[in-house]
Structure formats: structure tokens, C-alpha cells
Amino acid sequence: MFTADSIIDTVQTGKKTFINTFVTNDAVKEALINFVDVESEYTKKAAKIGTDTFATMTSETVKAVQEAAKFDYAKFGEGIMKKASAKK
């Protein structure tokens, strides 16, 4: 199943590998690795909130469409026509 976490982990692991390969200063390397870890945590939270928001919006849209489908448009139209005829 598709999850954003696996994609985020893959990208962040690539960044860490790049840092470990090309950064020789240990203090800079540690700072960059810490940055990547914090960035990973933030990105995962943002992806989860975005996914949850989308799921809620989709659910509410489905409920609204189902309620609209229950509405009897023919009966509503007859009522309007009766009122319009009565005014004439």
C-alpha cells in the first residue's frame, strides 16, 4: 500500500547517505544529520495532516452528495408549480 512515510524515508536516507559520503567535518556532519532527522519528522506530520484533511473533506462531500440524492426534486418542482399557478 502507498504511504507517504516510505517515500519520505527513502528521500531522507538518500540525503543522509550523501552527507555521510561527502561531508568530512564531523561537527558539520552531525548538524546536517540532525537537520535531516527533524525535517523528516516535520514532513511526516505534514503529510499525515494533509492526508487526514483530504479524507475528512472527501467523507463530508460524499455525505452531502448522498443527502442531495435523497431530495425529491419532482415533489419540489410540483410544489413550485402549484404556488406559481395559484398566484396567477
Amino acid at the residue 83: K
Per-residue pLDDT, 3: 84
Name residues of the chain where pLDDT drops below 70.
1-2, 88
pLDDT tens for each residue of 13-35? 999 999 999 999 999 999 999 99
What is the model's pTM? Answer: 0.70
